[in-house]
């Protein structure tokens, strides 16, 4: 009796760990993943911000919800506002303001790199938020203010998801992220950290978390963490718009239909 020999199954592909971290993951934005795979250079415009790419890597990000590099550098005295403005005025369209400051001895290279990467991740978190409109990409040249080590799309998306999960675990409602904030009186007030106290002192019924981040010169995501913790502890609540006023009764009284109904009512009461 002979035994039939079956062919060995093909081996599974082996993951290349050396390059896996640079591949496009597209777990947050499929369009961004395709651009990374394409190694595209240009600007991706999204509803809540923009991402600048160079050969498929993210080199810069901007969002109206996150403070820019200028705020991070000047708000706490790392650089004077006058020095930043002077360098900005001297920067040509294809030049890097931060590099001019470093070359002029006003800013350490390491400080610029750390602030630049922090600002990139901060703005990218908002730019990659869920949107109601499709993104669009404009091919072109790379942004001049790029970090020494551009960020792979896969790394940026993983960090974005990690931040979303962290905020959800602190307080699952995202409304405090964008709503004007009011101070509240918690029933049992826990001790606050100095950073949380700084944020709470800026709550005035009109400012949002992004407004507070700019005022104190802090990353917007870090401010969101503090705002959600303050909300969970009962120190902060959202300012909600008052309900619309009731309709003007004087205007209703002139409506012929209302007048007819009143006459019918009076006639029935008189029977």
Q: What is the reported pLDDT for 250?
A: 52
Q: Is residue 230 one of the residues assigned to a domain?
A: yes
Domain stops at, among 122, 146, 169: 169
Same-domain status, 164 and 138: yes
Give the DSSP letter string of 174-231: -GGGTS-EEE---SS-----HHHHHHHHT--SS--HHHHHHHHT--HHHHHHHHHHHH
222-231: per-residue pLDDT in tens?
999 999 999 9
**Nearest residue to 220 via CA among 78, 63, 103, 91:** 63
Q: Is residue 6 one of the residues assigned to a domain?
A: no
Q: What is the reported pLDDT for 10?
A: 44
Q: What are the C-alpha distances in Å from 171 to residues 23, 159, 232?
A: 32, 19, 6
For the stretch 200-203, contacts whose Cβ atoms lie closer than 8 Å and that sit 24 or more positions apart, written own/partner, are: 200/230, 200/235, 200/236, 203/236
The CATH number of whichever domain residue 228 belongs to comes to 1.10.10
Same-domain status, 153 and 42: yes
Same-domain status, 79 and 131: yes
Q: What share of the chain is helix, strand, coil (3-state, %, to 5)?
A: 45, 10, 45
Domain stops at, among 128, 147, 169: 169
Same-domain status, 46 and 146: yes
Q: What is the reported pLDDT for 95?
A: 86
* Stretches in the chain below the pLDDT threshold 70: 1-26, 241-258, 260, 267-271
Domain holding 265, by residue range, is 171-271
Query: HEC states along 32-51?
Result: HHHHHHHCCCEEEEECCEEE
Same-domain status, 176 and 163: no
Q: Are 190 and 233 in contact (CB under 8 A)?
A: yes
**Nearest residue to 98 via CA among 116, 82, 81:** 116
Q: What is the reported pLDDT for 217?
A: 94
Number of domains in the chain: 2
Same-domain status, 183 and 214: yes
243-258: per-residue pLDDT in tens?
566 655 555 556 666 6
Q: Is residue 5 one of the residues assigned to a domain?
A: no
């Amino acid at each position: 009796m002979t035994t039939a020999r079956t062919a060995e199954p093909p081996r599974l592909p082996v993951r290349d760990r050396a390059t896996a971290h640079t591949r496009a993951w597209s777990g947050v934005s499929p369009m961004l993943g395709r651009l990374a795979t394409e190694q595209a250079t240009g600007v991706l415009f999204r509803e809540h911000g923009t991402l600048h790419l160079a050969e498929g890597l993210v080199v810069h990000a901007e969002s109206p919800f996150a403070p820019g590099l200028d705020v991070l550098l000047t708000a706490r005295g790392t650089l004077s506002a006058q020095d930043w403005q002077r360098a900005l005025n001297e920067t040509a369209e294809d030049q890097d303001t931060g590099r001019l400051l470093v070359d002029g001895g006003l800013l350490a290279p390491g400080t610029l790199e750390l602030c630049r990467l922090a600002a990139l991740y901060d703005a990218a978190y908002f730019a990659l938020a869920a949107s109601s409109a499709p993104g669009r990409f404009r091919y072109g040249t790379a942004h001049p203010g790029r970090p020494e080590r551009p960020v792979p799309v896969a790394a940026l998306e993983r960090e974005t998801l990690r931040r979303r999960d962290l905020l959800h675990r602190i307080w699952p409602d995202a409304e405090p992220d964008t709503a004007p904030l009011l101070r509240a009186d918690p029933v049992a007030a826990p001790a606050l950290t100095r950073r949380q106290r700084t944020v709470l002192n800026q709550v005035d019924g009109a400012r949002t978390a992004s407004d507070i981040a700019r005022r104190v010169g802090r990353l917007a995501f870090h401010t969101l963490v503090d705002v959600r913790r303050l909300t969970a502890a009962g120190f902060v609540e959202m300012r909600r718009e008052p309900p619309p006023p009731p309709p003007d009764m004087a205007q209703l009284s002139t409506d012929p239909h209302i007048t007819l109904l009143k006459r019918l009512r009076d006639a029935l009461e008189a029977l």
